Chain A
């Protein structure tokens, strides 16, 4: 009887060996600057290509989600291959800073960004900002309320949409806890639930629901609206944005940012990279591609209709303090939202 398996294992083992050999040959030689990027490849790859040219060394990029890459860096400890960490949010950077894994950045780099958009220990710096806003359907409601606290009122029953599993929404709730306290936040969440708030899978789905009139008001990040408008034209986007005044928790400004790892073997290249990311070219890139706010002084975005960052009245919060997400999640769970 012909027996393929008797030969197969040897063939397969050979494959494994050959593959390992192939990679073994790839080892050795300096990899150059290694960046762990929690920001999406589709988004930052072209920018990092330019960065490679600007810095003048080879750049290797590992992509992943911010939280998992942060966990990986912590697990790697002092032997991490990463020189630079690009994070989607301030929380992951705050966590690395708390564990003492980030190197203090020079004042010349830090100074380019307002103090509230960088780590309080000077070990990470924000690169781009996103603002929580209310999207509303003007055909259904003439104007949105001036505070998210009002959304629990009967007039908004069954009219509000949100994305409870979205990290930005959860950061906003954490911010609300810092500002209003846990009791008030818990009451607000329960009030929202009782008021028939509708859950969607992400911010884009919330925006679509506002556009189509499924809900009248949606809690989203500002750039989703500008991306939709850039994609489809303002005429085909029914929803309008309302920036909340008076330091409302619903107007939280969060950032994506970067930090340099302690023990980096490519210090000078890493610092050059940070400076490049804060340069006009890179900052404009964020603004053009993602409609986020550039954070470096002197750079203004070119997004039509985007109000200047200085004009926004977001709450005054130390972004590094937004790392108590665990309690927020417990709260969301208790309220039956996630």
Chain B
């Protein structure tokens, strides 16, 4: 596909979104260089930075690998096979997204106290983040034209060979995008690794804030994370390749014929069941245990209800802004590959591996100086969500647009539609399921965001995540359980809608 000249109507908003996402980097530059580049350099080069980086990367690699296996296998089973209760499984498979990493880690630790370090962190993080792979891959599987597979089969390839030679390559953009998000999630995670006592780079940054109250070393270390992120994004861009995977024939693709599992039904069911048990049932059971054994039954349903309402509101606003910002970037990345698109996409990702506290402080820094009226007001919090989670929506948009046949856009253009009209009347509608999946994903992630919410929320406002933090802070797990449960139940709604969506 020839990269058409980038239309200005797309480039402008995309640059805006990119610049927005770069705000934390501007802050980091100011803080890291506060005491001169020499000091920043000495912070980065001493104190076992390389070792911490190695530990972070090792954890990220392990978690990404595990997430790819879990995410792709579950997506294939739920979308393409005769798995009994496939629809229910596809809902359940997305639920772990709602479990904050520290709740998962806490649940595992309370059940298996000896679990800690690398293994414990990898387990907890895999179980909460594999839906990042599952969701885009499942959406991609639904969008793939089965004709290619049928052709492959008719040419004599078996089902396994067809899967690896025809299906898997088409899933690569979705899987790579998901894998990248998992890697960045792992790099920025603090909750799980601190409970599991596994020393990572982000944990180093957090302790730097907590231990020395000095923002310069933390900022210098954060810059290293940014560099690493850009490297990962570049790597992913390479893996993804330049190919698009859209069907070019006439007519509409018909739904794929489901692969009969036959004797493999039971093993497939056990696999799904085992993942669901570990990732969903187990944390919920832990919550139930907290509720039952806690002798303080002081939780108030009215407070829970209003907190849930607030959480839904800010998460919806966050998801809306993030999705709107992601559209131009995602379309650009999918349709107009080139230096400009690459730079903008990298900008969108740059801050994603940063710890939430760093992004939150960056927002404090800018808002206090240049946007005082919105400081500690809702709009700023919503903007922070967009900065934090833009890549999640971009990845979804890009993968979805890649699957829409560009020839339709060319036809619309040749019929005299303007680029913007083509975008709104052809590209976006075709990519709608994928974009909606990205929006839902962002929505769920916004709901459980903690560090930025704590620092930027309007005074007195509470989300389910901040209540959870407050209650566990005084060790009253019984009081925390309803909030955690509400978080998971609310997240089940978008998951349910996504799981039901069969186009």
Judged by a CB distance under 8 angstroms, whether B194 is at the interface is yes
Judged by a CB distance under 8 angstroms, whether A42 is at the interface is yes
In the bound complex, residues from chain B placing their C-beta under 8 Å from that of A4 are: 432, 436
Question: Could you tell me which residues of chain A, from 308 to 338, have a CB within 8 Å of some CB in chain B?
Answer: 323, 325-326, 328-330, 333, 338
In the bound complex, residues from chain B placing their C-beta under 8 Å from that of A79 are: 368-369, 372
A68 to B210, CA, bound (A): 7
In the bound complex, residues from chain B placing their C-beta under 8 Å from that of A3 are: 429, 432
- Decide: B208 and A43 in contact? CB cutoff 8 A: no
Chain A interface helix/strand/loop/mixed? helix
Q: How large is the interface on A (under 10, 10 to 19, 20 to 34, 35 or more residues)?
A: 35 or more
Q: How large is the interface on B (under 10, 10 to 19, 20 to 34, 35 or more residues)?
A: 35 or more
Q: A42-B470, A91-B213 are in contact. Are A5 and B320 (CB under 8 A)?
A: no
Checking A41, A67, A165 against B213 with a beta-carbon cut-off of 8 angstroms, the contacting residue is A67
Q: Which of A70-78, A148-156, A241-249 touches B?
A: A70-78
In the bound complex, residues from chain B placing their C-beta under 8 Å from that of A34 are: 459
Judged by a CB distance under 8 angstroms, whether B141 is at the interface is no
- Decide: A71 and B209 in contact? CB cutoff 8 A: yes
Judged by a CB distance under 8 angstroms, whether A16 is at the interface is yes
- Decide: A42 and B473 in contact? CB cutoff 8 A: yes
Judged by a CB distance under 8 angstroms, whether B199 is at the interface is yes
Checking A13, A40, A231 against B320 with a beta-carbon cut-off of 8 angstroms, the contacting residue is A13
A25 to B85, CA, bound (A): 49
Checking B197, B361, B376, B460 against A199 with a beta-carbon cut-off of 8 angstroms, the contacting residue is B197
Closest chain B residue, CB of each to CB of A203: B475
Closest chain A residue, CB of each to CB of B382: A16
- Decide: A67 and B473 in contact? CB cutoff 8 A: no
In the bound complex, residues from chain A placing their C-beta under 8 Å from that of B368 are: 75-77, 79
In the bound complex, residues from chain A placing their C-beta under 8 Å from that of B209 are: 67-68, 71
Question: Could you tell me which residues of chain B, from 372 to 386, have a CB within 8 Å of some CB in chain A?
Answer: 372-373, 375-379, 382
- Decide: A75 and B470 in contact? CB cutoff 8 A: no
Closest chain B residue, CB of each to CB of A4: B432
Closest chain B residue, CB of each to CB of A96: B213
Judged by a CB distance under 8 angstroms, whether B207 is at the interface is yes
Judged by a CB distance under 8 angstroms, whether A196 is at the interface is no
In the bound complex, residues from chain A placing their C-beta under 8 Å from that of B466 are: 63
In the bound complex, residues from chain B placing their C-beta under 8 Å from that of A325 are: 210-212
In the bound complex, residues from chain B placing their C-beta under 8 Å from that of A70 are: 213
A121 to B429, CA, bound (A): 65
In the bound complex, residues from chain B placing their C-beta under 8 Å from that of A167 are: 210
Q: Mark B414-448, 1 if CB is under 8 A from A, else 0.
A: 00000000001100110010011000000000000
- Decide: B213 and A75 in contact? CB cutoff 8 A: no
In the bound complex, residues from chain B placing their C-beta under 8 Å from that of A8 are: 436
A333 to B201, CA, bound (A): 13
In the bound complex, residues from chain A placing their C-beta under 8 Å from that of B428 are: 5-6
Judged by a CB distance under 8 angstroms, whether B311 is at the interface is no
- Decide: B317 and A16 in contact? CB cutoff 8 A: yes
Q: Which of B161-169, B267-275, B337-345, B450-458 touches A?
A: B450-458
Total A-B residue contacts, Cβ distance less than 8 Å: 147
- Decide: B475 and A95 in contact? CB cutoff 8 A: no
Judged by a CB distance under 8 angstroms, whether B109 is at the interface is yes
A201 to B375, CA, bound (A): 35
Question: Could you tell me which residues of chain B, from 304 to 338, have a CB within 8 Å of some CB in chain A?
Answer: 313-314, 316-317, 319-321, 323-324
- Decide: B320 and A338 in contact? CB cutoff 8 A: no
Checking B316, B321, B376, B451 against A81 with a beta-carbon cut-off of 8 angstroms, the contacting residue is B376
Q: A77-B368, A81-B376 are in contact. Are A1 and B429 (CB under 8 A)?
A: yes
Q: A16-B317, A42-B473, A76-B368 are in contact. Are A326 and B211 (CB under 8 A)?
A: yes
- Decide: B458 and A23 in contact? CB cutoff 8 A: yes
Q: Which of A8, A19, A79 has the most CB of B within 10 A?
A: A19
In the bound complex, residues from chain A placing their C-beta under 8 Å from that of B217 are: 326
Question: Could you tell me which residues of chain B, from 265 to 318, have a CB within 8 Å of some CB in chain A?
Answer: 295, 313-314, 316-317
A61 to B460, CA, bound (A): 7
A224 to B355, CA, bound (A): 31
Question: Could you tell me which residues of chain B, from 358 to 398, have a CB within 8 Å of some CB in chain A?
Answer: 361, 364-365, 368-369, 372-373, 375-379, 382
Judged by a CB distance under 8 angstroms, whether B160 is at the interface is no
A71 to B211, CA, bound (A): 11
A34 to B475, CA, bound (A): 26
Judged by a CB distance under 8 angstroms, whether A31 is at the interface is yes
A326 to B209, CA, bound (A): 9
Closest chain B residue, CB of each to CB of A337: B197
Q: A68-B451, A231-B295 are in contact. Are A76 and B357 (CB under 8 A)?
A: no
In the bound complex, residues from chain B placing their C-beta under 8 Å from that of A60 are: 459-460
Q: A64-B455, A165-B194 are in contact. Are A71 and B213 (CB under 8 A)?
A: yes
Judged by a CB distance under 8 angstroms, whether B476 is at the interface is yes
A154 to B220, CA, bound (A): 43
In the bound complex, residues from chain A placing their C-beta under 8 Å from that of B319 are: 12
Judged by a CB distance under 8 angstroms, whether B195 is at the interface is yes
A79 to B368, CA, bound (A): 7
In the bound complex, residues from chain A placing their C-beta under 8 Å from that of B295 are: 231
A23 to B373, CA, bound (A): 10
In the bound complex, residues from chain A placing their C-beta under 8 Å from that of B215 are: 71, 74-75
A199 to B372, CA, bound (A): 45
- Decide: A202 and B475 in contact? CB cutoff 8 A: yes
- Decide: B317 and A333 in contact? CB cutoff 8 A: no
In the bound complex, residues from chain B placing their C-beta under 8 Å from that of A57 are: none
Judged by a CB distance under 8 angstroms, whether A29 is at the interface is no
Q: A52: shortest Cβ distance to chain B, in Å?
A: 13
Q: A88: shortest Cβ distance to chain B, in Å?
A: 10
Closest chain B residue, CB of each to CB of A11: B320
Q: A115: shortest Cβ distance to chain B, in Å?
A: 23
Question: Could you tell me which residues of chain A, from 195 to 242, have a CB within 8 Å of some CB in chain B?
Answer: 199, 201-202, 204, 231
Question: Could you tell me which residues of chain B, from 30 to 47, have a CB within 8 Å of some CB in chain A?
Answer: 47
- Decide: A329 and B320 in contact? CB cutoff 8 A: no
- Decide: A12 and B323 in contact? CB cutoff 8 A: yes
CB<8 Å pairs between A and B, sample of 16: A6-B425, A13-B320, A19-B382, A24-B377, A42-B473, A43-B474, A63-B466, A63-B470, A67-B209, A71-B213, A81-B459, A91-B213, A95-B213, A201-B109, A326-B217, A328-B211
Interface residues of A (CB under 8 A from B): 1, 3-6, 8-9, 12-13, 15-16, 19-20, 22-24, 26-27, 31, 34, 40-43, 60-65, 67-68, 70-72, 74-77, 79, 81, 91-92, 95-96, 164-165, 167, 170, 199, 201-202, 204, 231, 323, 325-326, 328-330, 333, 338
7 interchain residue pairs of minimum CB distance: A12-B320, A95-B213, A325-B211, A67-B210, A326-B212, A23-B378, A5-B432
14 new A-B contacts, CB < 8 A, other than A15-B316, A31-B459, A71-B215, are: A5-B429, A12-B317, A12-B319, A20-B377, A23-B377, A41-B470, A42-B471, A63-B454, A68-B209, A79-B368, A167-B210, A201-B195, A231-B295, A338-B197
Interface residues of B (CB under 8 A from A): 47-48, 109, 194-195, 197, 199, 207-215, 217, 295, 313-314, 316-317, 319-321, 323-324, 357, 361, 364-365, 368-369, 372-373, 375-379, 382, 424-425, 428-429, 432, 435-436, 451, 454-455, 458-460, 466, 470-471, 473-476, 479
